[in-house]
């Protein structure tokens, strides 16, 4: 495990836990991006007997499919409310896995404990990218597999964060923007020569469930922690609320390919830890 967290780090982690407990991220993940979990599991070829860690697993979007494939899975996340939702879903499906509250930047696991480590639009939100990348590699055995899906800076979610930035609370000192994990050069720099067989592919997931841009915006306002926090930061400033409402609708319309169909771009990374 990494060094003991400072008081400032503990306060930051508490804010992050609270943010992701807001709204209903498990519902959003199931409604919109359920396919991403099976995408990373398939890309890694996860099968019976593998020891798998899902970092920032949320409600198990990838962890549950990995367990269904026969792996021994630990689903870890900073926010216990997400893990509770995931365990409930796994129980409904009759799938067994271990749910552990854990910080991606200070994982409570032994060196080289896992055969495979993965994360699906999760690890990107840990604020200190070098720390979380170091922890990912530390708990992975030599030759073990890495699988990551992260939103790109240029894609819809990356641009949504850019749109919300002027309205949001200032980022903590030393934090790196989450969508940098969706930039191939940045991920390569985080891992360096500690990995081999590195591949990075840009893909998209089609979002078709919304009839209007306003409906999609309001869905995020009600369910997505980072969006909820951004609006709360505006307080009673009706003018700023209206401006953000309009900016998000404009963004959605820019990405609409017709009939309110959006292609959200992500980066799929696979690699192996060097021996």
> In the predicted model, is pLDDT for residue 2 greater than 50?
no
Smallest CA-to-CA distance from 75 within 104, 38, 46, 111 is with: 104
Indicate whether 2 belongs to any domain: no
**Strand (E) or helix (H) holding 205:** strand 195-207
pLDDT 10s digits, 17-38: 999 999 999 999 999 999 999 9
Strand 262-273: give its sheet, edge to edge.
98-101, 72-77, 51-54, 114-120, 140-151, 262-273, 195-207
What pLDDT is recorded for position 83? 98
What pLDDT is recorded for position 142? 98
Q: What is the 3-state secondary structure (H, E, C) of 108-125?
A: CCCCCCEEEEEEECCHHH
> How many domains are there within the chain?
1
d(CA 19, CA 9): 15
Confidence of residue 1 (pLDDT cuts 50, 70, 90): very low
> In the predicted model, is pLDDT for residue 134 greater than 80?
yes
Confidence of residue 241 (pLDDT cuts 50, 70, 90): very high
Q: pTM for the whole thing?
A: 0.95
What pLDDT is recorded for position 260? 81
What pLDDT is recorded for position 5? 59
Indicate whether 1 belongs to any domain: no
Give the structural domain span for 214: 7-273
Q: Which of the residue ranges 98-112, 181-195, 252-266 would you say has the lowest mean pLDDT?
A: 252-266
Environment class of residue 128 by beta-carbon count within 10 Å: exposed (0-12), middle (13-18) or buried (19+)? middle
Contacts of 238 (CB under 8 A, 6+ apart): none
**CATH number for the domain including 95?**
3.40.50.150
Q: Are the beta carbons of 269 and 147 closer than 8 angstroms?
A: yes
What residue ranges in 84-194 does DSSP mark as E strands? 98-101, 114-120, 140-151
Residue range 68-80: mean pLDDT, rounded: 98
Indicate whether 128 belongs to any domain: yes
Half-sphere exposure of 140 (CA within 13 A, CB side): 27
d(CA 144, CA 136): 11
What pLDDT is recorded for position 257? 84
Confidence of residue 171 (pLDDT cuts 50, 70, 90): confident
- Percentage of the chain exceeding pLDDT 90: 92
Mean pLDDT of the chain: 95
Indicate whether 266 belongs to any domain: yes
């Amino acid at each position: 495990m990494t060094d003991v967290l400072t008081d400032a780090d503990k306060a930051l982690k508490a804010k992050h836990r609270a943010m992701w407990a807001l709204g209903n991220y498990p519902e959003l993940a199931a409604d919109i991006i359920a396919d991403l979990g099976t995408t990373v599991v398939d890309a890694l070829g996860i099968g019976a007997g593998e020891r798998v860690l899902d970092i920032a697993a949320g409600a198990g979007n990838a962890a549950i499919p990995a367990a269904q494939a026969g792996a021994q899975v630990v689903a870890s996340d900073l926010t216990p409310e997400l893990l509770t939702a995931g365990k409930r879903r796994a129980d409904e499906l009759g799938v067994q896995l271990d749910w552990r509250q854990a910080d991606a930047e200070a994982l409570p696991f032994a060196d080289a404990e896992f055969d495979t480590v993965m994360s699906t639009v999760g690890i990107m939100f840990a604020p200190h990218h070098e720390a979380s990348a170091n922890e990912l590699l530390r708990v992975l055995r030599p030759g073990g597999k890495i699988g990551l899906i992260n939103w790109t800076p240029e894609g819809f979610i990356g641009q949504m964060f850019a749109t919300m930035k002027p309205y949001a609370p200032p980022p903590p000192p030393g934090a790196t923007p989450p969508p940098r994990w969706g930039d191939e050069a940045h991920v390569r720099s985080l891992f360096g020569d500690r990995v081999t067989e590195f591949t990075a592919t840009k893909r998209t997931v089609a979002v078709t469930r919304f009839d209007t841009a306003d409906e999609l915006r309001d869905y995020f306002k009600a369910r997505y922690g980072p969006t909820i926090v951004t609006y709360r930061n505006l307080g009673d400033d009706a003018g700023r609320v209206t401006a953000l409402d309009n900016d998000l609708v404009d963004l959605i319309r820019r990405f609409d390919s017709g009939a309110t169909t959006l292609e959200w771009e992500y980066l799929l990374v696979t690699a192996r830890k060097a021996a």
